[in-house]
Amino acid sequence: MSKDVERANEEPRTHLTSVALGRPPAAEVDAGTDIVLTIKVACPYGCDLRGRVINVIAPDGAVVAGSGLANFADNANETTEFAFTAPDEVGEYSWTLVFPKHEAEGVVHEEGSLPITVKTLAHDTSLAVWGVPSPIVIDHPFRVHVGATCSAGCDLKGKEIEICDETGASIARGKLGESPWDGTRALYWTEVDVVAPAREGATSRSIRFAPTELRLPHGGASARFGFETVKPPQYSVTVKVVQKDAGTPVEDAQVRLGVYFACSDQTGLARVATAQGTYSLDVLKTGYEALSRVLDVNGDVTVEVEVAIIPPENPDAYWLFDPTKRI
C-alpha cells in the first residue's frame, strides 16, 4: 500500500471544535451577583479534552473566568458548574466562551467559541409589616414592626422606612436595624411609632422604601396595612365562657364585641373594654360553637356565655347506614 493511501486513511491532524452550553446562564440576574453555567466542548472525532481550560472573555479581551473540562461522556467534554460575577450596573452584557487552540500528541484542536448575553437588573426589594394592633383608640400612638428584604439578600441595615397617610404625606420614619429578623435570610426590620387618626372607622397607611447609597442598584418597594380606630373605652364588659351542661370554664376562647376583643383566661373570664353602644357578642374557639347575641353596653356589665362541644365526625358513619330502613 502506498504512503498516499496510508495518509488518506489516517485521522486528520487538525480537528475543529464546537462550544455549547451544558447549563445555560439565567437570561436575567441581579446586578453584581453570580452568573452560573457549565460549558461543553466537542470535536468531530470524539477526543477526550479533559484538563483543557475554557475561558469567559469580555468584549475588551479580558479573561473574567475560566474552568477546566472535567467530564467526558458521549464524545463530549464538559466543565463542572462554575460562576463569574455580573457587572454592578444595570444593562445588557455579552461575553464570549473561548476554547483556545492547542496542539497535543500531534493533533491540533482549533479554537472554538460561543457568545452569551445576560441582562442585569436592579435588585428587587419587598416589605413586610406585622404586629399591627387593632382596634386602636382614636388619636392615640401605637407601634408596628416593619421589615425590608432584597432579592439577593443584601445588607439593608440603617436604610430608612417611611410611613405615609392616605394623602401620601410622611407621618413617621424609622431606620432598619443591624440584624435580620430571626429565622429569615435577610429581613432587616425596625419598630416605628405612629399616631392613629382622630376619627373612627377603618383606615390604612402606606409604607415606602427607596434604598440609596448601596453599592449595587436596588428598586424601591411599597406596601399597605390597615386597622380600626375606635372611641376611648368607657366601660368594662366581663364575659364568662363556660361549657354547656358541664358548666366548666373554657380557656382561650376569643370574645368579640364588634371590633373590641379579648381572650378568656383559665377561669373562663374575658374582660373587654368598650365604648357605649350596641354590639354583637360572639365567642369563638375551635371545636366549640356558641350563638351570637346582641348586647347593649351602657355601663359595666357581666354576662355568661355557654359554648357547646362540636361532636367529631364519625368516620364509620357510611357503614352505619342501614339500606333496609326507609327514611
Which grid coordinates belong to 231? 372611641
Tell me the CATH number of domain 12-121, given options 3.40.50.1820, 2.40.50.140, 3.40.640.10, 2.60.40.10: 2.60.40.10
Instruction: Give the model's pLDDT for residue 8.
Output: 41
Instruction: Give the model's pLDDT for residue 135.
Output: 86
Residue in the structure block whose three cell numbers are 354590639? 279
Predicted TM-score (pTM) of this structure: 0.70
Q: Do domains 12-121 and 235-309 have the same CATH topology?
A: yes
What gap in Å lies between CA 235 and CA 260, rounded to an integer?
Answer: 12
Alpha helices in the chain (DSSP H): 3-9, 317-320
What gap in Å lies between CA 243 and CA 80, rounded to an integer?
Answer: 66
CATH architecture classification, 125-230? Sandwich (2.60)
What gap in Å lies between CA 25 and CA 57, rounded to an integer?
Answer: 15
Q: Determine whether domain 235-309 maps to CATH 1.10.150.120.
A: no
Instruction: Give 249's DSSP letter.
Output: B
Judge whether 165 and 147 are in contact, CB under 8 Å: no
Q: Per-domain residue ranges for the chain?
A: 12-121, 125-230, 235-309
What gap in Å lies between CA 297 and CA 278, rounded to an integer?
Answer: 6
Instruction: Give the model's pLDDT for residue 260.
Output: 86
Instruction: Give the model's pLDDT for residue 173.
Output: 96
Distances 213 to 29, 59, 86, 147, 182 between C-alpha atoms, Å: 21, 29, 19, 18, 25
Instruction: Give the model's pLDDT for residue 314.
Output: 59
Which grid coordinates belong to 56? 469567559
In what side-by-side order are the strands of the sheet with 107-109? 14-15, 107-109, 102-104
Listed as own residue / partner, the contacts of 179-186 with beta carbons closer than 8 Å and 24 or more positions apart are 180/149, 181/147, 184/147, 184/149, 185/149, 185/153, 186/149, 186/150, 186/153, 186/154, 186/155, 186/156
Mean pLDDT per block of 10 residues along the chain (327 residues) reads 43 88 96 97 94 96 96 95 96 98 91 98 96 90 96 95 95 96 95 94 95 93 94 92 93 90 93 91 92 92 93 60 50
Which grid coordinates belong to 305? 356565655
